[in-house]
Every structure is written in C-alpha cells, then in structure tokens.
C-alpha cells in the first residue's frame, strides 16, 4: 500500500460546479497537510496548508483533514476554467526541513 493514495482522474466538471478532491494516507504520524496546484510543465503552487485535523477556508477553496479516518479533502466552489490543472495532495510528519510525500495528483478540467 502506498503511503498516500489519490485518484488520478481525470475529472471533468462544468463551470460553476463544486469540485471535491480527496486523498487517503496510511502513516498516522503525518501532521501537516497541503494541497498544491500544478499547471502543465510548471512547479507545484501551494493552495492550502493545514495542521492536524479540522477545516480551513480560503476564498473558493476549503481544505478538510480527518486524521481519525486518515482522509483529507479539497473543495472548490464555483469552479472556473482557470481551475483546470492537476491537484496534488502532500503531507509531512513535521514542518520545515522535512520532505513531503505526495499523492499522484488528480487532473481536473472545468468546462466552460
């Protein structure tokens, strides 16, 4: 079993839809959880960063962490064609000088 599982998609939704992206993980020591957005041929861009369990909202994006289920989610409200990208979940045991473990990424297409 891989440390982080993420459905690669592709996921295609109409503009304005609510998008739900998810990852599961096996290492209960993970404490920090991130969502990155990656456009084609570009490096990952940080979207959301959360510590431990709970919800975090930033504009149209909401990140949820359920450590008891080892499950994290990213919701995108009112999706736009510009949201079309690959979304990567990532996690680490501690912050700072600790490498990240990534999911495979989910390719999202928002159709106008």
Partner 1 sequence: GAVVSQHPSRVICKSGTSVKIECRSLDFQATTMFWYRQFPKQSLMLMATSNEGSKATYEQGVEKDKFLINHASLTLSTLTVTSAHPEDSSFYICSVPGSGKNQPQHFGDGTRLSIL
- Closest distance between partner 1 and the C-beta of residue 107, in Å? 8
Pick the closest to residue 12 from 102, 104, 81 (CA basis): 81
Pick the closest to residue 91 from 83, 101, 81 (CA basis): 101
The distance between the two most distant Cα atoms of the chain, rounded to a whole number of Å, is: 41
Hey, which residues between 5 and 24 contact partner 1 (CB under 8 A)?
6, 8
- Closest distance between partner 1 and the C-beta of residue 68, in Å? 22
Q: Are 89 and 30 in contact (CB under 8 A)?
A: no
Q: Is residue 102 close enough to count as binding partner 1 by CB under 8 A? A: yes
- Closest distance between partner 1 and the C-beta of residue 46, in Å? 5
- Cis preceding linkage at 10, omega within 30: yes
Stretch that binds partner 1, among 14-22, 58-66, 73-81, 90-98 (CB under 8 A): 90-98
Q: Is residue 57 close enough to count as binding partner 1 by CB under 8 A? A: no
Q: Are 17 and 79 in contact (CB under 8 A)?
A: yes
Q: What is the binding site for partner 1 (CB under 8 A)?
A: 4, 6, 8, 32, 34, 36, 41-46, 49, 51, 88, 90, 95-105
């Amino acid at each position: 079993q891989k440390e982080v599982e993420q459905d690669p998609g592709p996921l295609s939704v109409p503009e304005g839809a609510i998008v739900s992206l998810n990852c599961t993980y096996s290492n209960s020591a993970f404490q920090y959880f991130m969502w990155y957005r990656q456009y084609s041929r570009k490096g990952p861009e940080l979207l959301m960063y959360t510590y431990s369990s709970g919800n975090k909202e930033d504009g149209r994006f909401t990140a949820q962490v359920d450590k008891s289920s080892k499950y994290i989610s990213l919701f995108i409200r009112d999706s736009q064609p510009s949201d079309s990208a690959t979304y990567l979940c990532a996690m680490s045991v501690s912050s700072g000088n600790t490498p990240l473990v990534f999911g495979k990424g989910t390719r999202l297409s928002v159709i106008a």
